Amino acid sequence: MYIRMTAKRIRLFTILLLLTVGVPLSGIERELRLGREDGWADLEYRLGVRLLEGYRGEFDLFLEDGEYRPDRDTDLLLAFNRTPFHDAAGRYRVTGAAQRVATPARLGDGAARFEPTDGGVLLEATPEAMFAPGQSWDDFTIEFWLYPAVLDDGETVLRWRGARRTDNGRLDQRFEVRLERRRLVWDLDNIFLTPEHAPYRVVLESDRTLLPRRWSHHMLRFEAETGLLEYLVDGVPRDVTHATEGGREAGDVYLPYLGRASNGRVELGARLSGLLDQLRFSRRYVTRPMLERTSDSPAVAITRPLDLGHPLAEVSTLDARYRTPGETDVFFFYRLLEDNERPALDTGWRRFDPGEPLPEGERGRYLQLRLELYPDGRRRESPSVSWVTARYEPAAPPAAPARVRAEPGDGSVHLRWDEVVDPSVEGYYLYYGTRPGEYFGSGAEQGRSPIDLGDRTEVELAGLQNGRVYYFAIAAYDAAGIVPETQFSREQHARPARRTE
């Protein structure tokens, strides 16, 4: 336990002074560990970092998966990380009992698991959603990750049905994504509005078959300016057409329009056997899908300021257990602070190599650590950090003053002691009281106990009561004003008395 006392502000604590010789604090190296058992509880800032089970089954730091975040053009975003499923864009309500999460997912913490007989789930569109009745579309993109289990014909990933009124009556509409001949087929029947409101069907499919129990990314995107409609698998175009007369890059462009004869529901996984992940509808032509597991930006984790117990604590070594597979990397930084006020996140950091000695004289009361995790060039691998340790020594406090003498006087006691030969000594505190080991004295002209004497080595303590025994102890303090209990001098006592005439 440490006691901080300054000339301007003195805080009193109950001190039970041990009369035996205490163990000095100097030379005792201490260790502070982050991670492992505490689950990285001391992290106060994380960007792009997540905790996953790692070394010895404990939580390690990893890069977050590169999941999409909703933006102004996002119409629907389902990550399927947990149930009940939730549209992060807020434009669809997800209903249906068949909401199950499977792991491992392609990205994030989970994927939606479907069975052919479970009925799938429903996406109920709000009035501003793309699949709401009466909606017109310009640019759009629909994309998802698919993990088919058996690849049976007729398995349906996504389906919407509706109708629009024409001069000739009712024209049924359908937007369907299904499996045929181990390929994914996009069937857009009467979705695009022709000038004559005539039937118009577009079907796109890949020129390559899918493999069961393997993740693949599928994207359909439309560019309203040119009518380009393109189907991509894992970022590679597999089928291309144009929503124009003749299906070529010429002529008037047909734009999507959903009739009002619709309930605004999109069926998801109604006859699917497998997993679905990261389903996104966008009201824009997405030029580059996110196919990598991680972001290309470094992830950052910063601890809170960690109290080393003394302003002059010296940090000797910072070590860590971490893994950098492939071309991944981890950079480690530290800074020492005088108080626990947080400076700017990007200032004052010094990089260190785990296990290597730090420069001598690295002292401070608070230690803060910063970790930066970098992915590999292909953004498929993640580094990990299991734990970080700091070895440090609390600063040795000044030695206890020696040869304290107490000479009683009339209503006073004269005290003197030997100077403590230590360049860190800034001054001395005088403790006094009327019971052994309890220094809560008051009434002296110099004030209540303890009294800051500055750098003096003797004092005449006046204003005491004659005939009463007083107990005294002296302690030296350094620039921090900290006095450990074990650094008190040997207790002395004296009884002031009236002088005889």
Percent of the chain with pLDDT strictly greater than 70: 93
The pLDDT assigned to 484 comes to 60
Query: Is residue 208's pLDDT more than 80?
Result: yes
| Least reliable range by pLDDT among 170-174, 247-251, 471-475 | 247-251
Which CATH number fits the domain 30-64+295-393, given the four candidates 2.60.120.1020, 3.90.1150.10, 3.40.50.720, 2.120.10.60? 2.60.120.1020
Query: pLDDT class for 328, splitting at 50, 70, 90?
Result: very high
The pLDDT assigned to 458 comes to 95
Query: Is residue 5's pLDDT more than 50?
Result: no
CATH T-level topology, domain 74-282: Jelly Rolls (2.60.120)
Half-sphere exposure of 72 (CA within 13 A, CB side): 0
d(CA 50, CA 47): 9
CB 336 within 8 A of CB 379: no
The pLDDT assigned to 77 comes to 98
For the stretch 346-395, pLDDT in tens is 889 999 999 998 888 788 889 999 999 999 988 888 999 999 999 998 77
The more confident residue out of 300 and 39 is: 300
Query: Is residue 431's pLDDT more than 90?
Result: yes
Say if pTM beats, i.e. exceeds, 0.85: no
Query: Is residue 187's pLDDT more than 70?
Result: yes
Domain boundaries, the chain: 2-26+397-494, 30-64+295-393, 74-282
For the stretch 282-312, pLDDT in tens is 999 999 998 888 877 889 999 999 998 777 7
Nearest to 123 by CA among 82, 174, 175, 158: 158
CB 478 within 8 A of CB 398: yes
Q: Average pLDDT over the chain, rounded to whole?
A: 89
Distances (CA, A) of 82 to 69, 85, 99, 100, 213: 16, 6, 9, 8, 21
Same-fold call for 30-64+295-393 versus 74-282: yes
Percent of the chain with pLDDT strictly greater than 90: 68
Q: What's the whole-number mean pLDDT along residues 58-67?
A: 90
Say yes or no: domain 2-26+397-494 is CATH 2.60.40.10: yes
The more confident residue out of 215 and 478 is: 215
CB 239 within 8 A of CB 204: yes
The pLDDT assigned to 293 comes to 84
Which residues neighbour 356 within 8 Å (Cβ) at sequence distance 6 or greater?
317
